Amino acid sequence: MITTIVIVVFVILVVAYFMGRDEEEAPDEKVNSSPQKIPAKPKQVFEVVKIDNPTLSIPESESIPDQEVESYSDENTTYNVSVSEMTCTCPDFKKHRKGVPVNDPRRACKHLYCVLEENNLLSNLSELALAILESPSKNKKLTTVKLSSGNEVSICHGGNEWVDVFTRKRRKGDSGGLYSGKYDRFGFNINEQRWSYGDGPPGAREIKSILSQVL
Ligand SMILES: [Zn+2]
């Protein structure tokens, strides 16, 4: 008799358990039967640090006389370079750099850079200004943004399908994601959505995402 009661109670408990579970699962089944919702992709959040920030300031250049600089491709041609006016008579300067503000490093063609360097006028410049001087971009706009890692990236864009990205390289021993290496220029092709070589700079994927919003 006692055994029968125990069995009946056990069966009741088992049935109650499964009924309760069915009730609990019911809402989930309803959700599953409706079309699956795909959450909207969050918009990339980035901080624009500076926009069009000219960083070239060389007061000593005013005392440097104009100089003739030989063409790199034709030794019979020379160009007149004035670092006090930040002008050069070469075709690159006339075509691409004449309209750039005097205190913007993108104004310097390779001849202007050569004279500035020969006269030791580059020592007080910021590392970014120096990187742009060494590898001047023809692009019109310069936007500096901060990545989620804290690294700053300066993007030169507007002009052609190639965007110039200036950022620091990783130095051995860097920790915490902040890079302290030398500034370098990386080319990115907007049309083909690819870096000019390799995997691009540190944070390349985030930079690519930012580029799609900045350009
Ligand atoms: Zn020049």
Instruction: Give me the pLDDT at residue 48, please.
Output: 80
Q: Running DSSP on this structure, what letter comes out for residue 51?
A: E
Under the banding of pLDDT at 50, 70 and 90, the label for residue 22 is: very low
pLDDT over 60 (residue 27):
no
143 and 215 together in one domain:
yes
157 and 97 together in one domain:
no
pLDDT over 70 (residue 9):
no
Mean pLDDT across the stretch 39-44?
A: 60
Cα of 84 vs centre of ligand 1, distance in Å, is 14
Under the banding of pLDDT at 50, 70 and 90, the label for residue 24 is: very low
146 and 121 together in one domain:
no
Residue 212 located in a structural domain: yes
Of the two residues 8 and 36, the one the predictor is more confident about is: 36
The tally of domains found in the chain comes to 2
Mean pLDDT across the stretch 134-138?
A: 82
Cα of 111 vs centre of ligand 1, distance in Å, is 4
- Cα separation, 209 vs 211, in Å, equals 5
Within 10 angstroms of residue 15's Cβ, the number of other Cβ atoms is 10
97 and 126 together in one domain:
yes
Residue 118 located in a structural domain: yes
pLDDT over 60 (residue 86):
yes
On average, the pLDDT of the chain sits at: 82
63 and 104 together in one domain:
yes
109 and 181 together in one domain:
no
Cα of 137 vs centre of ligand 1, distance in Å, is 14
pLDDT over 90 (residue 32):
no
pLDDT in tens, 164-181: 999 998 899 988 788 999
**Domain final residue pick, 130, 155, 180:** 130
90 and 161 together in one domain:
no
Most confident segment among 48-52, 135-139, 141-145: 141-145
CB 164 within 8 A of CB 139: yes
121 and 146 together in one domain:
no
CB 122 within 8 A of CB 130: yes
Under the banding of pLDDT at 50, 70 and 90, the label for residue 50 is: confident
pLDDT over 90 (residue 23):
no
Of the two residues 214 and 14, the one the predictor is more confident about is: 214
72 Cβ neighbours under 8 A, 6+ residues apart: 110
Cα of 114 vs centre of ligand 1, distance in Å, is 9
Residue 6 located in a structural domain: no
Of the two residues 30 and 78, the one the predictor is more confident about is: 78
Of the two residues 31 and 201, the one the predictor is more confident about is: 201
Helices and strands: H and E segment counts in the chain:
5, 9
65 and 114 together in one domain:
yes
Residue 211 domain boundaries: 137-215
Cα of 205 vs centre of ligand 1, distance in Å, is 35
Residue 198 located in a structural domain: yes
Residue 70 located in a structural domain: yes
Range with lowest mean pLDDT among 25-29, 33-37, 46-50, 66-70? 25-29
Cα of 200 vs centre of ligand 1, distance in Å, is 29
pLDDT over 80 (residue 79):
yes
143 and 120 together in one domain:
no
Q: Where are the beta strands (DSSP E) in 27-109?
A: 47-51, 67-70, 78-82, 87-88
Residue 20 located in a structural domain: no
Cα of 61 vs centre of ligand 1, distance in Å, is 16
Cα of 77 vs centre of ligand 1, distance in Å, is 11
Cα of 31 vs centre of ligand 1, distance in Å, is 68
151 and 199 together in one domain:
yes
pLDDT over 50 (residue 30):
no
Residue 72 located in a structural domain: yes
